[in-house]
Amino acid sequence: MERLDKFLADSGAGTRSQVKQLLKQGRVTVDGKPEKDGSRKIDPGLQTVCLDGTALGGRYRAVFLMNKPAGYVTATEDPREKTVMELLPPQLRHLDLKPVGRLDKATEGLLLFTNDGELLHRLISPKSQVPKRYYARHEGTATEQDIDAFAQGLTLADGTQCRSAKLEPIGPGESLITICEGKYHQVRRMMAARNLTVLYLERRQEGCLTLGELPRGQVRPLTQQEIELLEQGESEK
């Protein structure tokens, strides 16, 4: 038996104070009956707890979007460097979130986290074709030949073959790059292959998701609709 409010928080329904509000608002039911008392003891093995009509399984599927700052490595732990995990607020630490793919230490911008291993593997699989759009400041200025080379599928310095990608120069030394794969240091290496050394890199979009107004260093949960769109984008390709 455990307290209902603890079960709700551990299921990812929200922080302790958000859970209090959810209970007060009558959005929680136990075995079909509205329950407002967070101190009530429940047996998650025998009873069904619902939030807004959806059953909580004790560990719900969570997907979060971070606006990653430079200076953090994308890893769950690292002996020397600061990791993106340190940027997750303490109330999310129990959710067992893992970064989806990786951004380099110096790269900023959109980074997803989830506790759903299956979604994670689908999104980072070599078969995944979710488009990822980056803003780069770089040496030189991209030309028509560079745009064509990206569209044809570049061969990197070590012989790695890239899929067709989109290069959009937006000003002197500034471009948007859209790729549908995630090889190691891919954007930097693609730009280097065209003598356009990257000086600054930010991921701005992944599938239908953008950074929006999310401040650097902050995270927000994806809505159910955003999760569905992300999955659809995934399966359509």
What's the CA gap between 39 and 52, in Å, rounded?
19
Residue 93 CB, shortest distance to ligand URA, in Å, is: 24
Nearer to ligand URA, 51 or 136 (CB): 136
Instruction: Determine, following the binding rule CB under 6 A, whether residue 181 of this chain makes contact with ligand URA.
Output: no
CA angle at 216 for the pair 214 and 221, rounded to the nearest 5°: 45
What's the CA gap between 14 and 8, in Å, rounded?
7
Residue 145 CB, shortest distance to ligand URA, in Å, is: 21
Instruction: Determine, following the binding rule CB under 6 A, whether residue 201 of this chain makes contact with ligand URA.
Output: yes
Q: Which of 68, 133, 138, 188 binds ligand URA (CB under 6 A)?
A: 188
Active site residues: 104
Q: Which of 186, 196, 219, 233 binds ligand URA (CB under 6 A)?
A: 186
What's the CA gap between 120 and 114, in Å, rounded?
7
Q: Tokens at residue 223, please?
A: 């809505």
Phi and psi at residue 233, to the nearest 5°: -55, -35
* Coil, helix or strand at residue 79: coil
Nearer to ligand URA, 184 or 218 (CB): 184
Residue 208 CB, shortest distance to ligand URA, in Å, is: 19
Residue 105 CB, shortest distance to ligand URA, in Å, is: 8
3-state secondary structure 108-126: EEEEEEECCHHHHHHHHCC
Residues contacting ligand URA: total by CB under 6 A? 8
- For residues 76 to 105, the per-residue mask of contacts with ligand URA, x marking binding by CB under 6 A and - elsewhere, is ---------------------------xx-
Nearer to ligand URA, 138 or 188 (CB): 188
Phi and psi at residue 3, to the nearest 5°: -65, 140
Residue 141 CB, shortest distance to ligand URA, in Å, is: 19
Site for ligand URA in 6-65 (CB under 6 A): none
Q: Tokens at residue 233, please?
A: 């984008």
Torsion of CA 126, 131, 136, 142, to 10 degrees: 100
Site for ligand URA in 109-148 (CB under 6 A): none
Instruction: Determine, following the binding rule CB under 6 A, whether residue 185 of this chain makes contact with ligand URA.
Output: yes
Nearer to ligand URA, 107 or 128 (CB): 107
* Coil, helix or strand at residue 6: helix
What's the CA gap between 231 and 212, in Å, rounded?
20
Amino acid residing at 206:
E
Name the residues that contact ligand URA, by CB under 6 A.
Answer: 103-104, 107, 185-188, 201
